[in-house]
C-alpha cells in the first residue's frame, strides 16, 4: 500500500496543460475556486489570452508550468499529445516535486494511463487517469462527470480540487480504470444516438410532428439525456454543440482497440463507428455527434 502523503489541498498552486474547448473553462473554474493557476498551451497565444482574462500566469513549457504545483491537470487530444506534455526534458514530470499529483483529463488509452502511472511512481509522483463526460457545456457549467483510475490516497487528495468543475469525481479502480469507464460511456452514447437518429428519421418519414412525439415519449421509458438535449436540434438540423465527430471516432477507435485486446464483442459499436465515418465523408468532421441523423436523410 502506498504510504506517501499527498497533500495538495494545503497548497493552492496548480497547473493546467491544454486550453482547448474543455480545458479553457475547466482551468477558469480552478481560478474561481481560489487556486493559483499556471497554464501551458501549445498555441501560446491561447494561453496568453486566458491568463489575461483570469489574471494568471503562463509557462513556456509543461515543465515550467508544473514547477511548484501540487497538482498538474491536463486535457489534451490523444495518447501522443499526452506523452508530449508529460515526458522528456520539458515535460511536466521533469518539473514536478515528489508527492505531487498529475491528473489527466484526456480521453486516452488505458495502456498509456498505466505506463504513465508507472513512470510517475518511479519518480515519487502520482498519476490519476480522469477522463470526463459532459461535453463543452458541462465544462463551462462546472458540471462534468469525472471517472478516475489510480491509487486511492492521491485520488482522495485531488478529488475536492477537481470538484471545482465537476458534479461528480469518482474513483472506479486502479490505473487505467478511468479510461476504461470512459470507453463504456462512449459505447453507451454511440448506441443511444444512433437509436434516436433512426427513431426521428422514421417518425419524419411517417409524417409525424416529431417535436411533439419526443415530448410525449420523453416522459416514458424512451427518455434519455440525448433525447432531452439533442432531439429537437436533430430535428432542426443543428449540429454545433461541441463534441465533434472526429473526436468521437478517435474515442471509438480506442474502444475497438481495447475490445480486440480483451475479447469483448461490440458489433453495434463497430457499426456506428462506420456510420460516423460516413458523416465525416459528408463533410461533417466538426459536426457534433448527434449529426448521425444526416446520413439517414
Instruction: Report, as residue numbers or ranges, the catalytic residues.
Output: 182
At 17, list the grid cell.
496543460
Is 110 in contact with 172 (CB distance < 8 Å)? no
- Among all chains, which residue has been given the C-alpha cell 481560489? 34
Beta strand 36-40 pairing with 13-17: parallel
Beta strand 144-149 pairing with 132-133: antiparallel
At 216, list the grid cell.
410525449
Nearest Cα to Cα of residue 181 among 151, 149, 152 = 149
At 39, list the grid cell.
497554464
The Cα–Cα gap between 76 and 83 comes to 10
- Among all chains, which residue has been given the C-alpha cell 498519476? 127
CA atoms within 13 A on the CB side of 230: 26
Amino acid at each position: 500500500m502506498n504510504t506517501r502523503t499527498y497533500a495538495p489541498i494545503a497548497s493552492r498552486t496548480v497547473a493546467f496543460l491544454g486550453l482547448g474547448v474543455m480545458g479553457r473553462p475547466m482551468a477558469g473554474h480552478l481560478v474561481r475556486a481560489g487556486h493559483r493557476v499556471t497554464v501551458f498551451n501549445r498555441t501560446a497565444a491561447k494561453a496568453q489570452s486566458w491568463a489575461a482574462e483570469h489574471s494568471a500566469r503562463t509557462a513556456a513549457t509543461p515543465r515550467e508550468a508544473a514547477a511548484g504545483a501540487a497538482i498538474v491537470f491536463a486535457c489534451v487530444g490523444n495518447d501522443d499529445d499526452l506523452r508530449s506534455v508529460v515526458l522528456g526534458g520539458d515535460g511536466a514530470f521533469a518539473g514536478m516535486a515528489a508527492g505531487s499529483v498529475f491528473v489527466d483529463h484526456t480521453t486516452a488509452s488505458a495502456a498509456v494511463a498505466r505506463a504513465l502511472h508507472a513512470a510517475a511512481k518511479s519518480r515519487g509522483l502520482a498519476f490519476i487517469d480522469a477522463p470526463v463526460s459532459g461535453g463543452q457545456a458541462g465544462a463551462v457549467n462546472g458540471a462534468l462527470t469525472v471517472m478516475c483510475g489510480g491509487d486511492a490516497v492521491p485520488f482522495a487528495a485531488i478529488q475536492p480540487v477537481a470538484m471545482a468543475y465537476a458534479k461528480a469525481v469518482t474513483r472506479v479502480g486502479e490505473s487505467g480504470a478511468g479510461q476504461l469507464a470512459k470507453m463504456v460511456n462512449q459505447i453507451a452514447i454511440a448506441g443511444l444516438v444512433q437509436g434516436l437518429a433512426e427513431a426521428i428519421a422514421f417518425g419524419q418519414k411517417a409524417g409525424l410532428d416529431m417535436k411533439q412525439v419526443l415530448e410525449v415519449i420523453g416522459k416514458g421509458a424512451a427518455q434519455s439525456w440525448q433525447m432531452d438535449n439533442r432531439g429537437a436540434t436533430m430535428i432542426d438540423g443543428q449540429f454545433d454543440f461541441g463534441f465533434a465527430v472526429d473526436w468521437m471516432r478517435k474515442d471509438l477507435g480506442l474502444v475497438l482497440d481495447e475490445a480486440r485486446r480483451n475479447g469483448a464483442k461490440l458489433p453495434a459499436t463497430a457499426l456506428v463507428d462506420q456510420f460516423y465515418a460516413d458523416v465525416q465523408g459528408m463533410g461533417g468532421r466538426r459536426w457534433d455527434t448527434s449529426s448521425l441523423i444526416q446520413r439517414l436523410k
